[in-house]
Amino acid sequence: MTLLLLTIAAAAATIWMIAAPGARFLPEFARLLSAPRIERGPFSFFSGRSYVSGAFQGREVAVRLQLKRSRYGQGYLVVALRLEGSATLDEAGGGASIDAHIHDPAGRRALSLLASHDVLPSVEEGWLKGLWQPQGFIIFPGRFSPDKWRQVLESMRTLATSLEGAV
């Protein structure tokens, strides 16, 4: 009986250690947003997918967190800011890279900061998206750093403003 209880406790501790960093990351990220809404489905624990939406400095923001849930699966975080106006980078640039459309110093600094945080920007269907998918030996998503993610949001906001001026 004691062995069974120890086995159950060890299994529960292992599951908690795997799930805990991801479970805390999104609520802490939500604190950076105004009017945040966290969305988790009934099977989020098993799928590893959860969302938060809100606003950052007047921009609509949507965040998707995908935790690793299989041996060969990989976790990632997508931070998306809605672009203003009807034109998108794809329409204006024929699929050219974001880098080709940024000519102002603030936009260049924003791109550089995103690269320093391993965030890969793209534009899709009226949203500026930043993909963070760390490689190597890392426990994803790890400890939440409010300074890092505030910098990422501010850089994405600056980049969105630069893109809107370039289109």
Mean pLDDT of the chain: 82
Place of tokens 């034109």: 87
Q: What is the rounded CA–CA span in Å between residue 83 and residue 125?
A: 9
Cis check for the bond before 141: say yes or no (omega within 30 of 0). Answer: yes
Amino acid occupying residue 55: A
- pLDDT of 58 strictly over 60: yes
More confident call, 146 vs 4: 146
Q: What is the rounded CA–CA span in Å between residue 78 and residue 68?
A: 14
**Domain boundaries, given as residue ranges, for the chain:** 2-166
Instruction: Give residue 95's pLDDT band: very low, low, confident or very high (50, 70, 90).
Output: very low
pTM score, two decimals? 0.77
Q: What is the rounded CA–CA span in Å between residue 141 and residue 21?
A: 7
Digit-coded pLDDT (tens) for 15-31: 555 555 566 888 999 99
- Residue 43 has a pLDDT of 67
Instruction: Give residue 57's pLDDT band: very low, low, confident or very high (50, 70, 90).
Output: very high
* Long-range pairs for 99-105: beta carbons < 8 A, 24 or more residues apart: 101/162, 101/163, 101/166, 101/167, 102/159, 102/162, 102/163, 102/166, 103/162, 103/166, 104/162, 104/165
Provide the CATH topology of domain 2-166: Yope Regulator; Chain: A, (3.30.1460)
